[in-house]
Amino acid sequence: MKTAILRFVESATTGPSAIPVEERIAVFDNDGTLWTERPLPAQVGFIVEQWSAMAAADPALTAHEPYRSAVRGDFSWLASALRKHLAGDDTDLHILIGAITRITEGMGVADYAASVAEFAARAEHPVLRRPYAETVYRPMLELLRYLERAGFTCYIVSGGDRDFMRPFTERIYGIPPERVIGSAVGLRYDDATTEVRYGPSFSFMDDGAEKPARIWSRVGRRPIFAAGNSDGDAQMLDYALGGARPGFALLVHHDDTERDDPAYDTGAETVLACAADRGYTVASIARDWTDIWIGNTRNHRETRAT
């Protein structure tokens, strides 16, 4: 895996066929690619906190999902809704999205960013018991820096909420907010306060085929490097491989059963099955990563893979 990346970058940056610097665009999924997404993505932890606070203010909400689960600290309904979504059943997802948009409806974007920043500064991963900023994958952070040194401009392209990620991506990944692409709630300008505020509904969900469309609308260029870990990243990986320039698609496989990143294929079954046929390079966490985290929680494997 490492050798394949080195060869690609060398071919893209040296010699007569070198790709111009302005065309060296790399895109990375976030949850499960740059940092952990299990047992649930960090954003879900933030959302659950907001729902619990809303239910405390209005106890009648506890008669309904997802507020009932939030108050109980039971994530089974949320996990079930996500599993149904991955299987093509969005019945519960619509309920989920409605509850998510109610968190920010009418709120100014600056106030939301401040609440996310406060959460990111104090919240811990529920299993690892360490700050979320320390659940970043060391090899992926090193890959970001390596590509940047080679003249690549790196973007985050996630199914997660764009404005949830923006307050912390520069601090933990070195990626500024203007290079974060993600799902988004609709926005409106408030003339009276000169603020941009959130509306009552989602504007778009940045997943699957939406990812290439959002990359083009934001960047105006086709990426030549893409990294992801799930079925929702397949079109983005294909987009990086499908241009006139040679491209590279990296698929992170969570297959380590010994260390603190749990092994799972759920939500990635299709993309893993077609990886060889589509030309994806698979990064096996068990085989290819000597270290997993930027910290030291059950992190290191003595035998370094090549």
Block means of pLDDT (10 residues each) for the chain, 306 residues, are 96 94 98 94 92 96 93 85 78 89 97 96 91 95 98 97 97 97 97 97 94 98 98 97 96 96 94 98 97 80 47
Return the DSSP state at 150. T
What integer pLDDT is reported at residue 285 of this predicted model?
98
What integer pLDDT is reported at residue 306 of this predicted model?
34
What integer pLDDT is reported at residue 94 of this predicted model?
85
> Of the candidates 222, 254, 252, 253, which has an alpha carbon nearest to the alpha carbon of residue 238?
222
Order across the sheet with 25-28: list the strands.
Answer: 195-204, 180-190, 153-161, 25-28, 225-228, 248-253, 281-284
Amino acid at 209: A
pTM: 0.93
Measured distance CA(78)–CA(93) in Å, rounded: 9
What integer pLDDT is reported at residue 93 of this predicted model?
84
**Which residue reads 């060398």 in tokens?**
10
Phi, psi (5° rounding) for residue 92? -75, -25
Measured distance CA(302)–CA(291) in Å, rounded: 9
Return the DSSP state at 226. E
What integer pLDDT is reported at residue 303 of this predicted model?
44
Q: How many CA atoms lie within 13 A of 264 on its CB side?
A: 14
What integer pLDDT is reported at residue 102 of this predicted model?
95
Long-range interactions of 160-167: CB distance < 8 A, separation 24+? 160/30, 160/31, 160/41, 160/43, 161/43, 161/185, 162/206, 163/109, 163/112, 163/113, 163/116, 164/43, 164/46, 164/116, 165/30, 166/113, 167/113, 167/114, 167/116, 167/117, 167/120
Q: In terms of residues, how long is the chain?
A: 306
Phi, psi (5° rounding) for residue 12? -80, -15
Amino acid at 26: A
Distances in Å between the Cα of 79 and the Cα atoms of 135, 184, 251 are: 20, 21, 23
**Which residue reads 């994530």 in tokens?**
75
How far does CA 183 lie from the centroid of its chain?
A: 10
